[in-house]
């Protein structure tokens, strides 16, 4: 990571890699760069020109389903 060619705030990371790296360290002010450095010790980085995530049209959001997902995520 001598030259950073991406923004660590916009990483798509596998859950296992995040777990192995120790996740975000709340004691560090710039958690995104700290996490990227720890991930770099264990993982390879890649770049994709493909759109991976897109925000839905707000009119199409099923608020009941979204609330159920939030409850499930907060419980785990």
pLDDT at 14: 84
pLDDT at 6: 63
pLDDT at 8: 63
pLDDT at 9: 65
Instruction: Give me the tens of pLDDT residue by residue for the chain, a chain 76 residues long.
Output: 455 566 666 777 888 888 888 887 778 777 777 888 888 888 888 877 777 776 777 777 788 888 888 888 776 5
CA distance 20 to 43: 10
Q: Which residues contact 8 (CB under 8 A, 6 or more apart)?
A: 32, 33, 35, 36
Residues 67 and 50: beta-carbon distance below 8 Å? no
pLDDT at 36: 83
């Amino acid at each position: 990571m001598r030259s950073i060619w991406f923004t660590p705030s916009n990483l798509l990371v596998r859950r296992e890699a995040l777990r192995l790296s120790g996740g975000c360290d709340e004691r560090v002010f710039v958690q995104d760069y700290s996490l990227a450095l720890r991930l770099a010790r264990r993982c390879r980085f890649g770049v994709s020109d493909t759109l991976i995530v897109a925000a839905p049209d707000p009119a199409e959001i099923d608020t009941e389903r979204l609330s159920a997902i939030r409850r499930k995520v907060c419980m785990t």
